[in-house]
Amino acid sequence: MHKLTVALDERSYPIFIGTDLLTQSELYNPYIRAKQICVVTNETVAPIYLERLKKSLTGFQVDVVILPDGEAHKNLQTLNEIFTGLLTARHNRTTTLIALGGGVVGDMTGFAAACYQRGVDFIQIPTTLLSMVDSSVGGKTGVNHALGKNMIGAFYQPRVVVADITLLKTLPVRELSAGLAEVIKYGLICDYDLFVWLEKNIELLMAGDETALAYAVLRSCENKANVVAQDEHEGGIRAILNFGHTFGHAIETAQGYGNWLHGEAVAAGMVMAADLSLRNGNIQKNEFERIISLLQKAKLPVRAPADMMPEQFMQLMGVDKKVLDGRLRLVLLEKMGKAIVTSDVDANLLSQTFAACRS
């Protein structure tokens, strides 16, 4: 088992990464403040893992909220189900929420914890690759609005993250691919050695090899923890973690939440950002082709939906949080393994990217 720390002074917390961790209650018990626990999960994950978790939570009042599954339910209405569950079972300010699920459950549980009685503790037990390598770490929590992805939320850190690689055994392969998109992202934005390792190990990862997956999770969490420790509230460097996301969020919103998986939209978005970086002269054609090839081996889309016109992208990207003072800000590659955030976006080159990247 590996232990990392997200170093945020009094809000610092550990990330445990390993196999068969779900039932190792000694990993999360020290972070449970009092007697009340509310496990938040969903209708897909609950039948597989809820009982195993509950068995190891002995000596507590354990209540459960089971949410409907899917990005389409990541909204204020579903969030209210968590508050109703907490209030019905009379949870007080010392309660601890446990998110058992992927990024949707994790983001909603974290936001509920941030709001309930003005803030209670929460623990992340991510069950998808994407949530292990990205969403469970760093404290971004929230829900979608019909007009924009993740537009309602809060920065609120968990007390501990327990990433049990064994849980990935039941994950559908399409979801595994979606998680790999975020791993590839770290390789591109800040860890070229990881990108090269991914090129060599992509087949093992796609086959669900636990050692390879554990390494990918460890390396991703190291990168994310390092960036978050420098810039918790995204005043600066943390924006690089949004590489591919400005385009990707536009795709997710336009296609209807849940039709394109978040990781799939990010993959197509990274191709668009890489295409613009190529047109800017920051990366070479053969490097661009290596990115496409790795994404394809991970069975991820490398083109935006055919029906998305440049005007729709621009309109949706205009409501994205990364717009500052009316100017579009994008995360591009300065070179392979290094990202930059820039407002200096050439409209002509951007049009060429839109045209080149549609399927």
Query: What DSSP string runs through 98-163?
Result: EEEESHHHHHHHHHHHHHGGG--EEEEEE-SHHIIIIITSS-EEEEEETTEEEEEEEE---SEEEE
> Binds 102, which of ligand NAD, ligand GLY, none (CB < 5 to 8 A, cut-off by type)?
ligand NAD
Q: Which residue is nearest to ligand GLY (CB)?
A: 241
- Binding of ligand NAD by 274 (CB under 6 A): no
> According to CB under 6 A, which one of 18, 85, 102, 301 is a site residue for ligand NAD?
102
Q: At 62, which helix (H) or strand (E)?
A: strand 61-67
Minimum separation from the CB atom of position 41 to ligand NAD (A): 9
Stretch that binds ligand NAD, among 32-40, 127-135, 225-233, 347-355 (CB under 6 A): 127-135
Residue 195 three-state SS? helix
In angstroms, the CA 21 to CA 125 distance is 10
Q: Of 149, 238, 279, 329, which residue is the catalytic one?
A: 238
219 is catalytic: no
Task: Count other C-beta atoms under 10 Å from residue 147's C-beta.
Answer: 9
The DSSP line for 270-332 is HHHHHHHHHHTTSS-HHHHHHHHHHHHHTT---SB-TT--HHHHHHHHHTSTT-BTTB--EEE
> Does residue 138 interact with ligand GLY by CB under 6 A?
yes
Contact segment (CB under 6 A) with ligand NAD among 23-31, 79-87, 111-119, 132-140 equals 132-140
Minimum Å gap between C-beta 133 and ligand GLY is 10
Catalytic annotation on 249? yes
Query: Which residues here bind ligand NAD, judged by CB under 6 A?
Result: 42, 44-45, 48, 69, 71, 74, 101-105, 107, 127-128, 130-131, 134-135, 138, 140, 150, 167, 170-171, 175, 178, 262-263
